[in-house]
Amino acid sequence: MEGLGNDYIYLNCLEEVPEDLPALAVRLSRRHFGVGADGLICIRPGRTGDFTMEMYNADGSRGAMCGNGIRCVGKYVYDKGFTQRPA
C-alpha cells in the first residue's frame, strides 16, 4: 500500500507472524530484487487497542512510527471487515 508517497508491504499478522521480520523486511524491500518498498508493516493484535502496527524500515531497523503507514493500517482493517469502527 502507498500513503502520500510512502510505500510499505503490509502483512496480516493477526494470527501468525513470520520468523525474523527484520531480515524479511530487507529481502522484500529491495527494489530490484524484491517487491520493493520503504519497508514492512505487520498488523498485529493490540494490547490496549484493537490493533497495533509493527514497522520495519527497508534496512531491517525497527521504526517507531509512520503516520502514512498507520493510516493505511486503519484503511486495511476497516476494508477487510476486521473492525466496524469508522477510520
| Assigned domain for 31 exists | yes
Phi, psi (rounded to 5 degrees) for 5: 95, -15
Q: Is residue 36 part of a domain?
A: yes
Q: Does 70 fall in a domain? A: no
Burial state string for 15-31 with b = 16 or more CB within 10 A and e = fewer than 16: eeeeeebeebbbebbee
Question: What's the whole-model pTM score?
Answer: 0.86
pLDDT in tens, 38-86: 999 999 999 988 999 999 999 999 998 888 889 999 999 999 999 887 6
- Asked whether residue 16 is assigned to any structural domain, the reply reads yes
pLDDT of residue 1: 76
* 67 belongs to a structural domain: no
Distance CA 60, CA 2 (A): 19
CATH number of the domain where residue 16 is located: 3.10.310.10
pLDDT at 7 over 80: yes
- Domains in the chain, number: 1
